[in-house]
Amino acid sequence: MNTNLATKLNLFNYIQSFCMPDFPHLKILSKSFFNHFFLKIYKKDSMFTLLYGDIDGLRNLNDTISFEKADLAMEELLKTVLHHLPKNVISFRVGGDEFCFILPSLSAEETMKITEQIHTSLKSNKKIYGLDFTFAACDSVNFAHLKDMYTFSENQVNLKKHSHLKFNEPVTSLTNYNKKLDELIDITIKTYLKNFRFSPDRYFEKQDLKILSYPILNTITNLLGDNSSNITRQAPNSAIHSEFHNKNLSIDMEVATKIYNLVMSDNINYEDLDSISITDLKCVRNNLSTDSITGAYNAVYRDHYLLPRLEEDGISFKIILIRSLGIKMLNSILSHSNTDFKIKSTFDCLMSNLHHILQSHSHIRLFPIYSGGGDFEIIVLNDFSNRITPNILENILNQMNLEQNHIQLFGMIENCARASNYNEKYLNLSKICELKKNKIKDNPDYFISPMALKLLDISLSSVVHFFKVHAKNFGIYNENEKIEFTKKFINSFINNFNEINISNGLYEKKESNYDSR
């Protein structure tokens, strides 16, 4: 084997480990592979179904039998699922407990019949400790793009898990449509309000009405229009030294297709591998190891490259865990795209502040990691002089939180003697951050629970979709109708908002206080 091909093979080995980081023997691909490659190369030549599944009970199982045993249970769960699905299925892990499966030549109806068999098998399998899947499926006949299929199925699963709204009931007349729309809006608002996290003794003021209606009105505005901002994908900050650093992250269709075929094949086709340039292979590796929003590294890079290297070399390091409480709220208020923009700007500011602290300490290396949601992590090497301390981190975060354009952050830092201690140290930091989060959530000024916001996101999207589809069918989808639709939400919110105070006896209590004065 010539030197050039040997270099390519070494690069491909990294690529393969990043493509299938969790269950390689089951050929389950990563979320990064789905986003960077599969959405680009999968052609709609014939009918296929996208099956989306969210595991039920995994988080509780993690707490009960430990993460390691829960992972074994999840692996057994996936084996059972794949046993029932066709052999040509293409599988992806798209979250901690979320998976999607591409089933060529099958309809959604046929697929859901298979899921019934899966549920039956799972019930009799004691190795999975009661885990199950909530599934939703859609086929390509009714969708133009794979991404739309993914979003639709994900929302359907969330509705099954978190809501009892019935959007699929037939609508036969304009009167029936208006009645159904009023019911959906009212139950959406009731669900949202019931999931407030607030002091039971607190009387809601007019200012509270404004604050709590803000996510609803902005979400409706974003859903009825398209106010999304484009996020520019960038490589990791140039101040971070790494062999993975490469600003060119563009991959053409031909290279993406070759990589997909190589990864999915049981045997390496050396001729195909040799036809891909080293530059393109490095670019592929960078795509699979970086987060598209922030340009930071992702969890796959951390777990399958960085931590093994640190363990092999016996290097000690620091772990900085920074967490935000408001990501779901921002998604509701600003839309997901604009939230991503705020995440990017907050991340850039955080890294800029850290590099400013370290400008005279060039030997210190920072590896920022973003795995989605509200968590930022930074692994710090060579901080022998203890330049980054808990106090310095606290000062940086406090200063950043004064700026209204930043996502509000809180975090902690801890030393890690070896990479083998990483999970333990990370868990300690996570517990401390959760305590800080709970203090914020226990404050009577903190209203909205993550559950309420998730329900709001899902339910509002579904109600707006219901409105768009049926209003267009009846020929009444116009600007005036959009205004009337928004008014329905406002009226429902005000009525239900006042009912909360009255049902809690707080309205009478407040009036009584006024009378006594």
Residues contacting 4, CB < 8 A, separation 6+: 274, 278
Joined tokens for residue 263: 């990864």
What confidence score (pLDDT) does residue 247 get?
Answer: 43
Q: Where are the beta strands (DSSP E) in 81-208?
A: 90-93, 98-104, 132-139
What confidence score (pLDDT) does residue 517 get?
Answer: 44
Please indicate, yes or no, whether the overall pTM of this predicted structure exceeds 0.85.
no
Pairing between β-strand 98-104 and β-strand 90-93 as defined by DSSP bridges: antiparallel
Dihedral (C-alpha) 510, 511, 513, 514: value to the nearest 10 degrees? 120
How many alpha carbons fall within 13 Å on the CB side of residue 460?
Answer: 27
What confidence score (pLDDT) does residue 145 get?
Answer: 85
What confidence score (pLDDT) does residue 221 get?
Answer: 79
User: Hey, what domains does the chain have and what are their CATH numbers?
Assistant: 290-442 (3.30.70.270)
What confidence score (pLDDT) does residue 512 get?
Answer: 46
DSSP string, 329-362: HHHHHH-HHHHHHHHHHHHHHHHHHHHHHTTT-T
- Residue 64 CB neighbour total at 10 angstroms: 11
Q: Note whether 350 and 388 are within 8 A (CB).
A: no
Q: Note whether 265 and 12 are within 8 A (CB).
A: no
Residue ranges for the chain with pLDDT beneath 50: 197, 226-242, 244-248, 506-517
Rg of the chain over all Cα atoms, to the nearest angstrom: 25
Residue with tokens 């023997």: 25
Q: Note whether 417 and 177 are within 8 A (CB).
A: no
Task: Return the percent helix, strand and coil in the chain, to nearest 5.
Answer: 60, 10, 30
Residues contacting 433, CB < 8 A, separation 6+: 321, 323, 410, 411, 412
Q: Do you know the residue count of the chain?
A: 517
Dihedral (C-alpha) 266, 268, 272, 273: value to the nearest 10 degrees? 130
Joined tokens for residue 466: 């219901």
What confidence score (pLDDT) does residue 226 get?
Answer: 45
Exposed/middle/buried for residue 8 (C-beta within 10 Å: 0-12, 13-18, 19+): buried
